[in-house]
Amino acid sequence: MPEQLLTVLKLCLLALLYLFFLRVLRAVWAEVGPLRAASAQPGRAATLAAVAAGPAATAPARKGRSGRGGGSRSSRRQPSVPTRLVVVEPPARAGVEAALAGELTIGRAAGCSLVFDERFVSQVHCRVFVRDGSVFVEDLGSTNGTWVNGARVVGQMPARLGDRVQVGNLVLEVR
Amino acid sequence: MTATAPPTPAEPLPNVVAIGTRRRTTELGLLLLCSIIVVGAYALASLGRNASLPADILPFLGVILVLVVAAHLAVRRWARCSDALVLPIVALLNGLGFVFIARLDDQLAGLQATWTAVGIAAFILTLVLVRDVRILQRYRYTFGLIGVALLLLPLLPVFGQNINGARIWVAFGPVSFQPGEFAKIALAIFFAGYLVERREVLSVATFKVGRLNTPDPRQFGPVLLAWGVSLLVVIFERDLGSALLFFLLFLVTLWVATGRAAYVLIGFALFAVGAFVSWTQFSHVQDRVSIWLDPWVDPAGTGYQVIQAAYALAWGGTAGVGPGLGIVERIPFDETDFIVAIIGEELGLLGTTAVLVAFLLLAGSGLRIAKGAGATFGTLLAVGLTSLIAFQAFIIMAGVTRLLPLTGVTLPFVSYGGSSLVANYVLVALLLRISDQSIRRARNPVAAL
C-alpha cells in the first residue's frame, strides 16, 4: 500500500469527521437560530416559535429569587415591602388580615396570634416572621404541612409579595 | 378523531409530532454518517497495520448498523421528541474508541464489542423503564443510599479487588465491574432531587453567623453527608479522579439549584484546602503531583507513562501518522486511560481536537436539554449528568496532556471499560428522557402534569 494513498485516505477520514460536526452544528442552528424560513415553511416556523417561547415562558419561574413577585410589584406600583397577611380562602374567612410585624403564629390553639379553628389546621401550625425586611414562613411540626406557592415549607422558607401561604385549608396572601 | 376535540395525553399535539419526526430524521442521518466514518476508520487502521482490508469488515458494518438502528428505533418508539444530537455524538465517540482499541488489542476489542451491545441494551431498557423522570425524584433518598453503598462495595473484603493500586473493583465470580461508575448516576439523581426542593431555602440567607448571613446550615446536612462519605470512600480507595468528579458534580448542581456563585467560590476554597491537606498526608497524592510537575525525575519508572504519552502526541503532529501506523504498546494502559494519546499519535492534533469537539457538542446538547426542562428536577439532573461526562473527559484528557496531575478515570465512551460504557449509556438514556419530557410538557401542559 503506497504511503501517499494512506495519507490521502487519512485526510479524507479527518474531513469526514469534521463534516459530521458541521452537520451537527447545522442541526443545532436549525433549532436555536433565527427563524429565517418563517415565510417559506409556515408550519415549521410555528413549531420553532413554540420552541423559542417554551424556555422563555418558564424563565421567570426559574429566576426564583429575583423574578417572582417582581412583576406584580412594578406593574401595580405597590410598596415593595410586604406589610399584611390577608386570608383569601376559604371564602367564609376571606378578608381577615393581620399586620406583618415581628412574629405571627398561626394555629387553633388559643395562644396563637392568629387563631383559625379549621379542620386541617394544627394546634400550633406555623409561624410567619419578619427579619431584615424579609418575610419567612416556618412550619412548626404541623400535621398537614405548610405550603408557599404550592411548595412544601422546609425550614425557614422566604415568602415575597403576592406569595400564597397555605395552612391546612386556609390560604393567606402576603401583601 | 374530530378536529375540534382537544388531544388526550396519549395523543400528542400535531406540532409535538412534527418536532419528533424532524429530530428523528436528523438523528438517523447523523447516525448513518457516523457509521460510515467508523467503518472507514476501521478499514484504514487495518490497511495501515496489515496492508490489507480487514476480513471481517462486512460483519463489522452489519453489527454497527444493527446496534445503531436498534438504539435509534428505541428512541423513536419511547422518546420520540428527545434531542437528535446526543445519540450520534455518543455513537461516534464509541465507534472511534472501538477502532483504536481493536487496533491495539484484538481480544479487548471483542470484549468491548460485547460491552457496547450490553450498553445499548441498557440504554433501551432505561428508556423503557424510566417513562417519567420524576419517578427518580420520588426515590431520591433511595438513590443516595444506593450511590453510597455502591461506592462502599469495593471496600468489602471478599468482593473488593485491588487493581493497579486503586481499590475500585468488585468481582462476583467471573464478572468484575467498577461500581463507582454507577454510583455517580445514583448520586447525581440524589443531589438533583434533594436540591430541587431546597433551592429556595438554600438561596436565601436565614441564619446569622456573626455579621454574616448564611442559609440555614441544617439544610445542607444530608447533601454534605452523602458528599463527604463518597469523598472519604473514594480517597480510601485511592481513586482521586472520581473524588474530583464527585466534588465537581456537587458544586455544579448546588450552583445551578441556588444561582449563587458564592457556593462555587467557597467550594473551590474548600477544594484548595482539601487538596493541600491530602498532598501533605497521602503518599500516592504526592507521587501524582511530583510526576505531574517533573516526569523526567524517573523517566523509565514513574514518569514513563506520561513521557511516552507526550512523545506519542508529538509524533502525531498535525494530522497524525495514520491509523494503524503508530507504535503499539508504547504506553501502558493505552486502551483505557491513555487512549487519547493513541488517537493523537495516529490522527494528530486534528484527531484529538475532533474528540474534544465531540465532547463539547455533547456537553452543549446536555445543557440545552437542561435549559429546556424549565426549573424542574429535570434541569438539575440534566446539568448533573452532563457535567459528569464533560468533567470526566476533561479530567483524563488534562491528565494525559499534563494540564492536571494524572488521575485514572476512563474517557467516557472512548476508553476500554465495560462498567464505564454501560453506565454512560444509562446516563445518556436519562438525558434523552428529560429532553423528550420537556418538549412534550412545553407543548401539552395538561398531558405532562
Show the 3-state SS of chain B: CCCCCCCCCCCCCHHHHHHHHHHHHHHHHHHHHHHHHHHHHHHHHHHHHHCCCCCCHHHHHHHHHHHHHHHHHHHHHHCCCCCCCHHHHHHHHHHHHHHHHHHHCHHHHHHHHHHHHHHHHHHHHHHHHCCCCHHHHHCHHHHHHHHHHHHHHHHCCCCEEEECCEEEEEEECCEEECHHHHHHHHHHHHHHHHHHHHHHHHHCCCEEECCEEECCHHHHHHHHHHHHHHHHHHHHCCCHHHHHHHHHHHHHHHHHHHCCHHHHHHHHHHHHHHHHHHHHHCHHHHHHHHHHHCHHHCCCCCCHHHHHHHHHHHHHCCCCCCCCCCCCCCCCCCCCCCHHHHHHHHHHHHHHHHHHHHHHHHHHHHHHHHHHCCCCHHHHHHHHHHHHHHHHHHHHHHHHCCCCCCCCCCCCCCCCCHHHHHHHHHHHHHHHHHHHHHHHHHHCHHHHC
Among chain B residues, the shortest Cα distance to A130 is held by B206
pLDDT for the residue numbered A34: 64
Residue B193, in any domain of the structure: yes
Q: Tell me the pLDDT tens digit for each residue of A11-43.
A: 999 999 999 999 999 999 888 866 544 434 444
Residue B107 lies in a domain: no
Q: Is residue B62 part of a domain?
A: no
Number of domains chain B is built from: 1
User: Cα distance from B12 to chain A (closest Cα, Å)?
Assistant: 14
pLDDT grade for A158, boundaries at 50, 70 and 90? confident
Q: Is B179 part of a structural domain of the chain?
A: yes
Query: Is B231 a member of any domain?
Result: yes
Mean pLDDT along residues A41-67:
41
- Is the Cβ pair B88, A24 closer than 8 Å? yes
Residues of B in contact with A7 (CB under 8 A): 319, 322
In a domain, B245, yes or no: yes
CB contact under 8 A, A54 and B372: yes
Chain B interface mutation, best of A3, A5, A9, A24, highest count of B Cβ atoms under 10 Å: A24
Query: Smallest Cβ distance to B200: which of A7, A64, A132?
Result: A64
> Chain A closest CA to B351's CA: distance in Å?
7
Structure confidence at residue B205 (pLDDT): 66
Q: Which domain holds residue B239?
A: 133-281
pTM of the entire predicted model: 0.76
pLDDT at B208: 62
Confidence at residue B366, expressed as pLDDT on a 0 to 100 scale:
96
A152 in reach of chain B (CB within 8 A): yes
Strand A103-107 relative to strand A114-115: parallel, antiparallel, unpaired? Answer: parallel
Q: Which of B199, B365, B368 sits opposite A64 (nearest CB)?
A: B199
At A116 the pLDDT is 85
The predicted pLDDT at position B97 comes to 94
Q: Residue A67: pLDDT above 80?
A: no
The answer to which of A123-127, A168-172, B189-193, B232-236 has the lowest mean pLDDT is: B232-236
Nearest to B44 among A10, A58, A152 (CB): A10
Give the residue-averaged pLDDT of A120-134: 85
Chain B residues whose beta carbon lies within 8 Å of the beta carbon of residue A51: 19, 439, 442
Is B147 inside a domain boundary? yes
8 Å CB contact of A27 and B85: yes
Query: How close is the nearest chain B Cα to the Cα of A123, in Å?
Result: 25
Task: Closest CB to B85: pick one of A7, A28, A155.
Answer: A28
Does the pLDDT value for residue A1 go beyond 70?
Answer: no
Classify residue B421: in a domain, yes or no: no
Q: Which residues contact B318 (CB under 8 A, 6 or more apart)?
A: B348, B349, B350
Report the pLDDT value the prediction gives residue B212, as an integer from 0 to 100. Answer: 62
Residues lower than pLDDT 50 in chain B: 1-9, 445-449
Residue of A nearest to B364 (CA): A28
